[in-house]
Structures are given as structure tokens and as C-alpha cells.
Amino acid sequence: MLIDIPQLREKVRVFRDRSDAGEKLAGMLSDYKDSSAVVLAMPAGGVPVAAVMAEKLGLGLDVAVVSKVTLPWNSETGFGAVAFDGTVCLNEKMLEGLPLSKEQVRERIKFTREKVAARLKKFRSDRELPDLSGKTVLLVDDGIASGFTMMTAVKATAKLGAKQIVIIVPTGHSESLAKISKISTTIYCANVRSGYSFAVADAYEKWSDISEDEAAEILRRFNRV
């Protein structure tokens, strides 16, 4: 089931920044206020969104580290993703059209696993992954384009025993949301857009990349509250 804000469909620049997006999402999620739900933010961009949302709803905040498996010649383009528990999802259709050998694919997955391990160390130190057995998990990112990182996060979270996985994003592409809805109970997406050209950044008036250090500091501040 997809829940959006009808007035925001197909519009751009609907959020001032990630904090504003978090506030708008919190307004959609009153049913979860002061509940036992667990909020997992996807670093780095999902952390400022989730922090505001979790604070408004009176919920705890943790992270679900997932990283794109990128091309050797383009660090921005991914053909899959690796999650915090080692779960890997690959875009097989995309791979068919790429000049990559099986060995190169394995090397990129290995590289990404190492990247995820380093990010886990940064965000969670030596703490074990949270026990999600029988719990409702709210997975939060700052937007969904292709959806591969989110699909990988959902699969990894399910392996930790989550009873219900709810995806929450400020903005998302309609086709990707439809695909992800097949593996998630509910999706909350304030700003749903379609079309050939889609960029998460277009939903925001103020947009910049969030560094891992910035995300880690937000988490530290939140958990000191």
C-alpha cells in the first residue's frame, strides 16, 4: 500500500530541506507516535530526515547501512547494493548491457562490502545489530530513485526478524515505488513523481550531499537527548 500527499504529486521543490521533509513525514505517521516502532535511517542522506521524524514521533533512532555497488569508471552509478548484513541485490537487467566481466562484478561487490563494514564501524562502533524480532521497523531515506538500495535494506531487515517493514521517504519515482511495494507492507512517500527524468534532489529547495561525519554527529546528538 502506498500512502502519499495528493497535493504534492508530480511537483518539485516541495521541501525546504531534509529537516522540513522529516517534519512533513512525521505528520503522515501519527499512528506510530510513542509506539514501539524502531526507526532505521539509511546513511547518510536519510539520517537528517529520520532524526527530525523520530524526534517528532517520540521514537528511537538507529541506522541501516546500505551502499551502492558502483561502476569502476563511475562512482555515482550503481548496478546493485550491499546491506549491513552482507545481503546483495544486483540489477541483472542493467548488468546485461554493461561491459563488466564476472570477476569485475565480484571485485565491485567485495569493494562495497568493505565500504559497508567501515561505515558500520563509524556509525555503530562495536555495537551489535539491533534485535528486530517481532517489531515494526520504519526504514527511512531521503528519496527513492531506482530503489535498489531500499530493496536491499528491506531484505536485510527482514532477515533480522522484523514483523512489519514500513518504508518512509519524502520523494520517490512511481515505478520504483511500485516495485518495492511488492516486498513491503506499506510505503509512505509524500511526493510521488513519474517520468523519464527523476532526481531526488528536485524535491528539495536546498540540497547538498550529507557527509558521513555530519550524519554520525546527528546520530550522536539525537541519542544524547
Judge contact between 189 and 169, C-beta under 8 A: yes
- CATH fold, domain 2-64+130-224, is Rossmann fold (3.40.50)
Tell which CATH architecture fits domain 67-123: 2-Layer Sandwich (3.30)
Of the candidates 62, 75, 77, the one whose C-alpha atom is nearest the C-alpha of residue 157 is 62
Kindly state the average pLDDT of the residues 29-45: 94
Domain ranges of the chain: 2-64+130-224, 67-123
State pLDDT tens for residues 112-160: 999 999 999 889 877 877 788 889 999 999 999 888 899 999 999 998 8
Residue 225 has pLDDT above 60, yes or no: no
* 2-64+130-224 and 67-123 have identical folds: no
Q: What is the pTM of this model?
A: 0.90
State pLDDT tens for residues 149-192: 999 999 999 988 888 999 999 999 999 999 898 887 799 999 99
Kindly state the average pLDDT of the residues 92-105: 85
Peptide bond into 54 cis (omega under 30): no
- Residues constituting the chain: 225
